[in-house]
Amino acid sequence: MHDSSNTSGLSADREVASLLNRLEQSRRGATANAKLGAADARILWLLSGGEEYTLRDISDKLNLEQSTVNRQVNAAVKAGYVEKKRSRARAAWVFSPSAEGKERFDADLDMHLGFYARGLAELDESEQTAFIDLLTRVVGGYEAAIRTESWSRI
């Protein structure tokens, strides 16, 4: 297959790593100017699905250490972004977004999605579909490779 987009002379894996690094640098810049910090946004992204989660659930879903999740979720509760309550079905606390957390998360999400939409606007509709299909396959392959490692938690 002919690859006209790789003009840097790098191997395909290095070119992808370079492009993803550029994307991550841009994302960090956007995140630094968002209403929520990265930890709060990550937690609210998970909680935005409508389900309530325990700290253990959040740790498992985000693939983070329990102590990290405890600290970050408790900080989000203290900031007013997340609410906690006792579950009738479980002995543990369960967490959900507060009205303020949802409002801030939605505003930040709209900002970030706008940036992705601007990037995708560089492609026509068929290219967008192909890009998403190809990116889905690449991410799936990357995840599969990570899963083979003894340290993997995904």
76-116 confidence digits (pLDDT tens):
999 999 999 998 877 899 999 999 999 999 999 999 999 99
Q: Half-sphere exposure of residue 12, counting CA atoms within 13 Å on the CB side?
A: 5
Q: Which two tokens stand for residue 17?
A: 């790593």
The identity of residue 150, as a single letter, is: S
Which candidate, 81, 80, 60, places its Cα nearest to that of 69? 60
Helices 66-79 and 55-62, packing angle to 10 deg: 120
Q: What is the mean pLDDT of residues 25-35?
A: 93
Measured in residues, the chain has a length of 154
Q: What is the pLDDT of residue 2?
A: 43
Cβ neighbors of 152 (< 8 A, separation 6 or more) are 146
